[in-house]
Structure 1
């Protein structure tokens, strides 16, 4: 604790002496943020602030323009506490220039059975995937596959309930 306090005081002193101290709040694991636009940098900062208890890792950052000629950023974020996050810890994200907030989609396997109290949660979860598909961040048809699987689970529940 004493070392941390001494280090903090040293950094404060360096900052007040005119030396610039910069720290990245996020890490891009694959260098895909090279030549990132201010919009992309702001999106990464926004996502970092959304998850203040973690040190987010990003990868696969791409940009393109949508039909309205607005910039869209897509990529993956991991909230893993490991210094080298596992590949399956990454979640999809996307943001459109001028829109409210980036969308993060955590791919979760739909269970074989869903409690009726959880149906709305799964529907809302799929809405994030639909938004990412509309942005061009996931392949076309991703939301339909998700919806078909969810409907199949719900239909199986109805059939077993009527027996």
Structure 2
């Protein structure tokens, strides 16, 4: 009788947990996912679970194949709570069929002055942009432009500290 009572209490709670974890939905702000492949759907689902506190909104999805004949999906995601997110709230993302996680790049402007202790953080931040460029999700030369801007700020810091 005690086992039956315990099952009556546990089963409904287990069901609600399962529903909670599988109910993650994506919001498309344009019609770019009309004929999405299972790979694209899985990528969007992965991004939705990666940012569980936000309700991601996607747009500008595009799919192409890389030199290895693997599918690559590119697009933009916003983590804004607004129904109509601001243009600057969108982050570029990309994923390849042979990659584990989608790459998400937040385009943040490099500050005009930068402490040398923060340099590694900004270099690592640019690595995501480099990966998106390799995937074909951002224009070629984007990473070089980012690196040039970062080097300019670091050189300026070096000049100012040696004076």
Q: Which aligned segments of 4 or more residues in structure 1 are displaced greater than 2 angstroms?
A: none
1:72 is aligned to 72
Distance 2:24 2:102 in 1: 19
Structure 1 unpaired stretches of 5+: 1-8, 13-21
Distance 1:24 1:53 in 2: 11
2:109 is aligned to 109
1:139 is aligned to 139
Q: What does the per-residue CA deviation read over 1:53-82, in whole Å, with 9 as the maximum and x for residues that have no partner?
A: 000000000000000000000000000011
Deviation at 1:97, TM superposition (A): 0.4
2:19 is aligned to none
Please say if 1:95 is aligned against 2:95.
Answer: yes
Q: What does the per-residue CA deviation read over 1:106-157, in whole Å, with 9 as the maximum and x for residues that have no partner?
A: 0000000111221111000000000000000000000000000000000000
Q: CA RMSD, aligned part only? A: 1.6
| TM-score (structure 2 length as normaliser) | 0.85
2:18 is aligned to none
Distance 2:50 2:23 in 1: 18
Please say if 1:121 is aligned against 2:121.
Answer: yes
| TM-score (structure 1 length as normaliser) | 0.85
Deviation at 1:87, TM superposition (A): 1.3
